[in-house]
Chains A and B, each alone.
Chain A
Amino acid sequence: MNTPLRHLATVMLVMFLALMGSATWVQFVQAPDLNADSRNVRTLYREFGNARGPIVVAGGAVARSVKVDDPFGYQREYTDGELYSAVTGFYSVVHGSSQLERAANDQLTGRGDQLFFSRLRDLVTGRKPEGAAVETTIVEAAQRAALEGLGDQQGAVVAIEPSTGRILAMVSTPGFDPNALASHDVSAANTAYAELAAADGNPLRSNATLEIYPPGSTFKLVTAAAALESGEYDASSTLPAPVRLDLPQTSATIGNFGGGGCGANPITLADALRVSCNTAFAQLGMDLGDDALREQAERFGFDDASLTIPMSVTASRFPAEANAPQTAQSAIGQFDVAATPLQMAMVSAGIANDGKVMRPYVVERVRAANLSVVSQTEPEVLSTAVSPGTAAQLTDMMVGVVANGSGTSAQIPGVQVAGKTGTAQTSDDAAPHAWFTAFAPADDPQVAVAVLVEHGGSAGSEATGGRVAAPIARAVIQAVLGS
């Protein structure tokens, strides 16, 4: 009977090996997924039990954990919560977290791979682990200027340092006060959350990075870039600019803003951009073809769902397929073209940086609790959108827009500003979105900015990008240059 006994002993051994395998599967292989599951309250409890690292703007903590005497141990507190809500996001015991609080969670809790050695030291010395400080690239003055500029209007502002990709300002209105959501009083936190979730303009979702809007005429920068890159056009090339452009295959037509002409017919490419001539750019788009436009848009960062700053960013889109009339509309930023304010800031920043789009980021460095730097973000080229020559021509054309075109209200005495307005139709009965994207100084760009004011803001149907959005961009640029 010993042979079957030995066989059975082997079977028992195999059973235990299977158990060890499944335990390893759960506790090692699947553990990151299980720990990230939103139903896993354990992760929250543990995080709250340790001191979570602060989120820092210019040396001051805008989000920090304060020791309190309740089961959670630490209370998350936000200074100027509303001002930075699009950057910090919220951190709630019942509703999870968002934005940096979520994307930089590993660093803030001290669980990131980079913090392995400080964790090991805490383990050996028996010290309670502490989270690392996340230092942001945000410039307080620019952030304040953006929020004040938007005021009660719904919209977003993003400012980028063109040469590095550092995000200097990121504001979404309406914002929210993360302190209300961070409350350990569950019913109070629930009420606050329910109010915000139901509020007009969806305050919990950042307009700057998560919502996409038709970019309107600001997209003409991309169309102009595609034209210059094709080698068949330069700034003085002439384009037909009728009052109305008949679209092929359909009875639809495209007109200009205000219904008039563009001041000349034919018109040069530079002037067409300066006065934002729809018919000229629609025809140009059809001549270039949708493939050329799509390729150019993607080189500026459209259709890239993988971008993180480190928060995830909604991909801006250019339609995957477009016939001639759809291409005409796409060329002026209508039809299915849609972009985040961050994306339109990246377009300006790319032009400002000799055609190279830098990867945008909001975390400058991560510092462990003992103040040693654990990681420092190095600027990185995301893509080369246009050649330096094209970038220079586009810059000159954009300077014209602000000097004596549709964007004159962005002028700053003593500083040459390059910009482009946009007024994007959304539907027949709603006021258009007002856009403005710009960079300055034109000869030595320090800041690129995109401003979106939803449905024209307080100006309503009278709004244009030049009237409503450009002054906000000007204020942000001045704040960055003055700081």
Chain B
Amino acid sequence: MATVEPHRVRAGRGVELGLLVLALALAVGAYALVGLGTSDEVPADVLGYGTGLAALALGMHLVLRWRAPFADPVILPVTVALNGIGLAMIYRIDVAYEGAGKDHGFAGRQLLWTTISVVLAAAVLVCLRDHRTLRRYTYTAMVVGLVLLGLPLLPVLGTSINGARIWVNVGSVGMQPAEFAKLALAVFFAGYLVTHRDTLALAGPRFAGLQLPRARDLGPILVVWAGSIAVLVFERDLGTSLLLFGLFVAMLYLATERVSWVVIGLLMFVGGAVVASSVFSHVAARFDAWLHAMDPEIFDRLYGGSGQLVRGLFGMASGGLFGTGWGQGRPDLVTYAESDFIVPSLGEELGLTGLLAILMLYVVLTQRGMRAAVGVRDGFGKLLAGGLAFVVAWQCFVVVGGVTRLIPLTGLTTPFLAYGGSSLLANWIIVALLLRVSDDARRPAPAARGVRPDEPLPGEVEAGPTRVPAASATRAPGTGAGVGAEPDDEHPTERIGGLA
């Protein structure tokens, strides 16, 4: 038995380094082109800027070599590329704002936040040696998440900007705690659901081809639903509400494999949103602006009109297939071109081609996250990575769908691209966690390397060395009994050698 050769796995750090060079070239090239496009000369600090970005990216790369040598080699370069494109665009809009005499200096602050984010992401990788440690803090995460969500409602801390009460002022720095709440709640959902998935998935009555849950198991979904609706009502933030509820429903489905949860969740949210739109004018206005965006009356409406949305569409349309080029368009004609509307800004200057390329980067990033979830063997890790990868995709969908008029517009930031420290930091930490999980997923022969904790965490079903790989593939579909008997995972094939 012991003579079986361990399957060789390419750690991929070399690939990562190569891709990082490409990503940095893209980011620094974009920065230089913005200078050429706006003032016909390369920005004087392009070398310093390039060196700084490269130092951050390579620092992160070294941390990965040190602490997570088997982490997915694509995730970091994609993130660096997105972050770099975002920085270039924010710098470009800064130039335009400066020319128009408007408030500017966003690029410098975003660069500072990028630095902080990368350092903290590296710290997460260094300190968090095993993602399962987080499971110990399941309920702590819940409390933290709820407190973060509630913070903006506090009288002194919270501030209302443009009607949405989602900001917290710490000193002179404004933060959007909901960005961190999504992180904490993803940890909580993963911990909670991995423990309760059997109960939640147990047979209930069947109705119209759906396996319905038992009434008493509806408790947790009701609580999260109430929380989301509370965010919608008290903080007037449709985006965050949609984001958190979508995250929960997706993770519930991951844990139970039951479509009925998704249907129930969607019905509840749509019901809540319909009621909210009939009771609250600001929600109704969002729908109005979505459905009748081109209406002159709604276009000209000062509050809750479609002017910003339609100006964004004008920008994207004027970009056309190939875009105006960096620095050649007028993205500054849209309010919040550097944050909520950075996607139309990119669509205008990089064209449909550029925008599709950016969306492809997100596809690669999130699918790599899902790959890590499939590969990792513990249920908590699967739920956590799946949930985090989904929440990035979901946030993209809500914000890009909003600005392209696919769905009603909600105020959310585009991960990594948009200006905003909270969003950048939270998403970099998500990336750090995905890297951590992917390291575990791709690490060959865990027993041989001996880096895993000696004892499984309490309540965790660890994949035993005696398990036969074939058994994991024979889950009886649709039978609740099979779920209870099933350990959390299937083996990725690359591990079989070491276990046998």
Which of A's residues lie within 8 Å of B, judged by CB? 1-9, 12-13, 15-16, 18-20, 22-28, 30-35, 37, 39-43, 45-46
Q: Does B124 make an interface contact (CB < 8 A)? A: no
Listed by A's residue number, 21 A-B pairs whose Cβ atoms lie within 8 Å are A1-B383, A5-B373, A6-B370, A6-B374, A9-B367, A12-B367, A16-B362, A16-B396, A22-B404, A23-B359, A23-B400, A25-B404, A26-B316, A27-B355, A28-B321, A30-B313, A31-B317, A31-B320, A34-B313, A45-B330, A46-B330
Smallest CB-CB separation from A27: which chain B residue?
B352
Smallest CB-CB separation from B343: which chain A residue?
A23
CA distance A1 to B404 in the complex (A): 34
- In the complex, chain B residues 338-395 whose Cβ is within 8 Å of any chain A Cβ: 347, 351-352, 355-356, 359, 362-363, 366-367, 370, 373-374, 379, 382-383, 386, 389-390, 393-394
Beyond A9-B370, A39-B299, whether A23 also contacts B356 by CB under 8 A is yes
Smallest CB-CB separation from A45: which chain B residue?
B330
B397 CB contacts on chain A under 8 angstroms: 15-16, 18-19
For A22, give its contact among B333, B405, B489 (CB under 8 Å): B405
State whether B394 touches A15 (Cβ < 8 A).
yes
Q: Does B406 make an interface contact (CB < 8 A)? A: yes
State whether A42 touches B330 (Cβ < 8 A).
yes
Q: Does B310 make an interface contact (CB < 8 A)? A: yes
State whether A46 touches B318 (Cβ < 8 A).
yes
B314 CB contacts on chain A under 8 angstroms: 34-35, 37, 39-40, 42
Smallest CB-CB separation from B253: which chain A residue?
A4
Instruction: Output the least CB separation between B317 and chain A (Å).
Output: 3
Q: Type the 1/0 row for B465-492, where 1 means its CB is closer than 8 Å to any CB of A.
A: 0000000000100000000000011100
Beyond A12-B366, A25-B404, whether A35 also contacts B379 by CB under 8 A is no
Q: Does B401 make an interface contact (CB < 8 A)? A: yes
State whether B359 touches A27 (Cβ < 8 A).
no
A26 CB contacts on chain B under 8 angstroms: 313, 316-317, 347, 404-405
B393 CB contacts on chain A under 8 angstroms: 12, 15-16
Instruction: Output the least CB separation between B408 and chain A (Å).
Output: 13
Q: Does B175 make an interface contact (CB < 8 A)? A: no
CA distance A415 to B314 in the complex (A): 57
- In the complex, chain B residues 26-58 whose Cβ is within 8 Å of any chain A Cβ: none
State whether B356 touches A20 (Cβ < 8 A).
yes
Closest 5 CB pairs of A and B: A34-B317, A22-B404, A27-B352, A31-B317, A22-B406
A42 CB contacts on chain B under 8 angstroms: 314-315, 318, 329-330, 333
State whether A40 touches B318 (Cβ < 8 A).
yes
Smallest CB-CB separation from B333: which chain A residue?
A42
A45 CB contacts on chain B under 8 angstroms: 330
CA distance A8 to B246 in the complex (A): 12
For A27, give its contact among B310, B320, B366, B394 (CB under 8 Å): B320
Q: Type the 1/0 row for B274-315, where 1 means its CB is closer than 8 Å to any CB of A.
A: 000000000000000000001010010000000000100111
For B382, give its contact among A5, A13, A20, A31 (CB under 8 Å): A5
Other A-B pairs beyond A5-B382, A8-B370, A26-B347, 7, CB < 8 Å: A1-B488, A15-B396, A15-B397, A23-B400, A27-B355, A35-B318, A42-B314
Smallest CB-CB separation from A12: which chain B residue?
B393
A30 CB contacts on chain B under 8 angstroms: 313, 317
CA distance A34 to B344 in the complex (A): 14
Instruction: Output the least CB separation between B328 and chain A (Å).
Output: 9
Instruction: Output the least CB separation between A124 and chain B (Å).
Output: 13
Instruction: Output the least CB separation between B234 and chain A (Å).
Output: 28
State whether B317 touches A16 (Cβ < 8 A).
no
For B254, give its contact among A1, A20, A35 (CB under 8 Å): A1
A33 CB contacts on chain B under 8 angstroms: 317
Smallest CB-CB separation from A37: which chain B residue?
B314
Instruction: Output the least CB separation between A71 and chain B (Å).
Output: 9
Q: Does B432 make an interface contact (CB < 8 A)? A: no
Main secondary structure of the interface of B (DSSP, over half): helix
B379 CB contacts on chain A under 8 angstroms: 1
A12 CB contacts on chain B under 8 angstroms: 363, 366-367, 370, 389-390, 393-394
B319 CB contacts on chain A under 8 angstroms: 27
Main secondary structure of the interface of A (DSSP, over half): helix
- Most chain B CB atoms below 10 A, which of A15, A19, A22, A32: A19
CA distance A1 to B390 in the complex (A): 15
State whether A19 touches B401 (Cβ < 8 A).
yes
B317 CB contacts on chain A under 8 angstroms: 26-27, 30-35, 40
Q: Does B60 make an interface contact (CB < 8 A)? A: no
Q: Does B184 make an interface contact (CB < 8 A)? A: no
State whether A13 touches B316 (Cβ < 8 A).
no
B253 CB contacts on chain A under 8 angstroms: 4, 7-8
Instruction: Output the least CB separation between A329 and chain B (Å).
Output: 41
Smallest CB-CB separation from A35: which chain B residue?
B317
Smallest CB-CB separation from A3: which chain B residue?
B257
State whether A5 touches B318 (Cβ < 8 A).
no
State whether B356 touches A18 (Cβ < 8 A).
no
Q: Does B255 make an interface contact (CB < 8 A)? A: yes
A43 CB contacts on chain B under 8 angstroms: 318
A25 CB contacts on chain B under 8 angstroms: 404
Q: Does B141 make an interface contact (CB < 8 A)? A: no
Q: Does B250 make an interface contact (CB < 8 A)? A: yes
A39 CB contacts on chain B under 8 angstroms: 296, 299, 310, 314
Beyond A39-B310, A40-B317, whether A2 also contacts B401 by CB under 8 A is no
CA distance A34 to B363 in the complex (A): 28
Instruction: Output the least CB separation between B360 and chain A (Å).
Output: 8
Smallest CB-CB separation from A25: which chain B residue?
B404
A22 CB contacts on chain B under 8 angstroms: 400-401, 404-406
Instruction: Output the least CB separation between B306 and chain A (Å).
Output: 11
State whether A4 touches B352 (Cβ < 8 A).
no
Instruction: Output the least CB separation between B298 and chain A (Å).
Output: 12
- Most chain B CB atoms below 10 A, which of A9, A28, A37, A40: A9
Smallest CB-CB separation from B319: which chain A residue?
A27
A24 CB contacts on chain B under 8 angstroms: 352, 356
A32 CB contacts on chain B under 8 angstroms: 317
CA distance A43 to B489 in the complex (A): 56
State whether B316 touches A19 (Cβ < 8 A).
no
CA distance A7 to B359 in the complex (A): 20
State whether B374 touches A19 (Cβ < 8 A).
no
Smallest CB-CB separation from A19: which chain B residue?
B400
State whether A8 touches B250 (Cβ < 8 A).
yes
Instruction: Output the least CB separation between A22 and chain B (Å).
Output: 4
Beyond A5-B370, A19-B396, A22-B406, whether A27 also contacts B316 by CB under 8 A is yes
Smallest CB-CB separation from B294: which chain A residue?
A37
Smallest CB-CB separation from A7: which chain B residue?
B253
- In the complex, chain B residues 403-455 whose Cβ is within 8 Å of any chain A Cβ: 404-406
CA distance A30 to B294 in the complex (A): 12
Smallest CB-CB separation from A1: which chain B residue?
B382
Smallest CB-CB separation from A43: which chain B residue?
B318
Instruction: Output the least CB separation between A47 and chain B (Å).
Output: 11
B356 CB contacts on chain A under 8 angstroms: 20, 23-24
CA distance A32 to B316 in the complex (A): 11
CA distance A41 to B475 in the complex (A): 60
CA distance A295 to B329 in the complex (A): 52
Instruction: Output the least CB separation between A7 and chain B (Å).
Output: 8
A28 CB contacts on chain B under 8 angstroms: 320-321, 352
State whether A19 touches B318 (Cβ < 8 A).
no
Smallest CB-CB separation from B348: which chain A residue?
A42
Instruction: Output the least CB separation between B243 and chain A (Å).
Output: 13
State whether B320 touches A19 (Cβ < 8 A).
no
Instruction: Output the least CB separation between A5 and chain B (Å).
Output: 5
- Most chain A CB atoms below 10 A, which of B310, B329, B370: B370
CA distance A7 to B396 in the complex (A): 19
Smallest CB-CB separation from A34: which chain B residue?
B317
Smallest CB-CB separation from A18: which chain B residue?
B406
Instruction: Output the least CB separation between B377 and chain A (Å).
Output: 10
State whether B390 touches A8 (Cβ < 8 A).
yes
A4 CB contacts on chain B under 8 angstroms: 253-257
Instruction: Output the least CB separation between A421 and chain B (Å).
Output: 46
Instruction: Output the least CB separation between B353 and chain A (Å).
Output: 9
State whether A2 touches B374 (Cβ < 8 A).
yes
